[in-house]
Amino acid sequence: MNVHGMSRRSWALILAASLAVLSVGTGAAADPEETPTTGPPRFSLKLGGGFGFLMGRGGDLDLLRSHMEYEYTSRSPAVKAEFDWDPLSWGYNVPVELIIRLKPYLGIGLGTGIFTSAVQASYTKDYQYTWTGSNWSSTDDNHYETARDFKIRLIPARINLYLFCPLGVLTVYSYGGLGYYWGKLTHSASFSTELKHEYRDSSGYSSKDEDYDERTIEESARRGGLGFQGGLGAEFRLMKNLSLGLEVFGHHFNNLGWQGSSTTDYTTTSKNWTSREGWRPDDIKSGSLEDKGTLWYQHDGSANHEIYVGDERNPPIFRAKREARIDLSAVGIHLTLRIHFGRPF
């Protein structure tokens, strides 16, 4: 059949027939008096699974990533660096919702679910430089290594207003509403630093200083607050009490005021050697520090950016800090399975 060669009259007949079929199908589903046993059931349980893209990439989590990337990739030839830290760009979404149909075209949903995401990061930096004078030389050989693991979790308690458009075995719908969201951020990190310094002069004197710092951080922060969500979907009735669908969703949760706790374990070792005395006894210190309070984002110029949990009453570690903003807003898509039950309209 030549589609482009069809007359306008043929297209008009096809369109009129399609509209007639749709009107008959929707009219039959919408009139409870004519079809008392074939209308939509009053209750349904919607289960879903899919993924969503974080629109703000975690807020200050991505700001920290971008500054560390600049710090580790925009350096002089004396610095060798490797940087592996992808943005927090997507996560898994699993919703569960009980839908109460008030009318064939109107319903209320009461639901919860979970949205999770995670990202790992690792970066290293080696710095080697030698200074020379008229009768002396000095060499620095430094190594920095960092590994991080960020995990986020978002659990809502939400209420939605549903609008349904039945089209025979196919139903198109939209929804929107408010919710209270519980967010959690978990951060695990390990930092390793090696600083080596050597000195020599023309008199034959030389010295070596070596400093090692190993520390691990475990911290978590939580924040609850209002958010909102919405979506569009279409589902196909597989059988009387079961539908399979596809849904586009979105939710908004972007807040300050995260509160949490942290634990830092550390070990520092200092070594010193001179040509006159040899190696001195190592100076080793270790311990554990615990803190709790607000999740902060510190920004000290172009470098030294960090995110951490700390008590506001303690002396600030850095010159400039503010409350961290964690943005877990997302849009995405998931498959849905809806189980219908209860007396039909």
Same domain, residue pair 24 and 39: no
Same domain, residue pair 299 and 330: yes
Task: Give the pLDDT confidence score for residue 343 in this predicted structure.
Answer: 84
Same domain, residue pair 160 and 224: yes
Count: domains in the chain: 2
pLDDT interval class at 3 (50, 70, 90): very low
The model's pLDDT over 87-117, given as tens digits with 9 standing for 90+, comes to: 999 999 999 999 999 999 999 999 999 999 9
3-state secondary structure of 27: helix
Same domain, residue pair 224 and 241: yes
Q: The tokens of 204 are what?
A: 């034959």
When pLDDT is averaged across residues 24-38 and rounded to a whole number, the result is 41
User: Got the DSSP string for 245-268?
Assistant: EEEEEEEE-EES--EEEEEEEEEE
Q: What is the Cα Rg of the chain in Å?
A: 31
Same domain, residue pair 147 and 296: yes
Same domain, residue pair 316 and 290: yes
The model's pLDDT over 120-177, given as tens digits with 9 standing for 90+, comes to: 999 999 988 899 998 999 999 999 999 999 999 999 999 999 999 999 899 999 999 9
Does the pLDDT value for residue 289 go beyond 50? yes
Residue type, 179: G
Cα Dmax for the chain: 109
The model's pLDDT over 220-257, given as tens digits with 9 standing for 90+, comes to: 999 999 999 999 999 999 998 999 999 999 999 999 99
Whether this model's pTM surpasses 0.85? no
Of all residues in the chain, the percent with pLDDT exceeding 70 is 85
Residue type, 166: P
pLDDT interval class at 41 (50, 70, 90): confident
Same domain, residue pair 141 and 261: yes
Q: What is the DSSP letter of 3?
A: G
Percent helix, strand, coil in the chain, to 5, is 10, 70, 20
Does the pLDDT value for residue 315 go beyond 70? no
pLDDT interval class at 320 (50, 70, 90): confident
Same domain, residue pair 164 and 183: yes
Q: What is the DSSP letter of 131?
A: E
Task: Give the pLDDT confidence score for residue 283 in this predicted structure.
Answer: 95
Does the pLDDT value for residue 5 go beyond 70? no
Same domain, residue pair 11 and 55: no
Mean pLDDT lowest among 60-74, 223-237, 298-312, 327-341: 298-312
Distance CA(213)–CA(215), nearest Å, equals 7
Same domain, residue pair 184 and 318: yes
215 neighbors 190 (Cβ within 8 angstroms): yes
Q: What is the CATH number of the domain that holds 243?
A: 2.40.160.20
Does the pLDDT value for residue 34 go beyond 50? no
When pLDDT is averaged across residues 21-35 and rounded to a whole number, the result is 39
Same domain, residue pair 26 and 44: no
Nearest to 114 by CA among 152, 147, 140, 141: 152
180 neighbors 224 (Cβ within 8 angstroms): yes
The residue segments making up the domain with residue 4 are 1-30
CB count within 10 Å of CB 171 equals 20
Same domain, residue pair 108 and 242: yes
When pLDDT is averaged across residues 199-206 and rounded to a whole number, the result is 92
